[in-house]
Structure 1
């Protein structure tokens, strides 16, 4: 039976909850969750020391078709960068930044740092 959009949103929210809990345990601090702007979206904005970390959370039931990491396409990457630029415009000073991903394939979670080569 196909999943409804509500099911997908709920699963996405649970994946974000799991990723957030994991990153908090690693010492990061939540700055903002689900930042939306005209050009894109950021799942989690975290602070790691003095750096701002823009985190994309992706979940797939398996690694078939490349898994969760493969779903961060060039188009998605451009949207992440655009959203980050929009968020940074609201800051008084420009902090050091990076883009990370938390990918969940089945029951396996992995935190990948600095996924965009900017």
Structure 2
């Protein structure tokens, strides 16, 4: 009995959509990094991975370390809706993990920003997005 190993058209569509979303996310991160660098904040790490999670971008402004979570979608509101409480908690734990390697440790000045990128490439940065 012959087997048909032709890819499932639905699986192909999901795979193509996943790749498109991945590439759009990379492009959004690159655009956000350029925006920070254009404002004099060098990006010292991209997609920094710790044991507990990943930080999309890490920049430095003097003694302050700026962590940036990038979200991309058709609209800024839709992009913002893609961040969950569990993800925010992971970001905080991952930030602490990164800071363990800093000279001042957890006493380092920190800011955590949320960068939203819409379908037209417009960027909205919410500074200290998760404070308080």
Scaled by the length of structure 2, the TM-score of the pair is 0.79
Change (3 A) 1:17 1:72: same
> Quick one: which of 48, 61, 76 aligns to 1:48?
61
Work out the number of aligned pairs and report it.
116
Match of 2:51 in 1: 38
Higher relative CO (Cα under 8 Å, sequence separation at least 6) belongs to: 1
2:19 corresponding residue in structure 1: 6
CA offset digits 1:71-103 (Å, max 9, x no partner): 121111011111111111111223200100110
Matches within 5 A, 1:1-118: 1-2=13-14, 3-62=16-75, 66-94=77-105, 95-107=108-120, 108-118=122-132
CA distance in structure 2 between the partners assigned to 1:106 and 1:6 by the alignment = 16
Relative to its length, the structure with more strand (as a share) is 1
- Deviating above 4 A after TM superposition, structure 1's stretches of 4 or more consecutive aligned residues are none
Structure having the larger proportion of residues in helix: 2
CA shift, 1:28, in A, is 0.7
Root mean square deviation, CA, Å = 1.6
What SS does the aligned partner of 2:104 have? coil
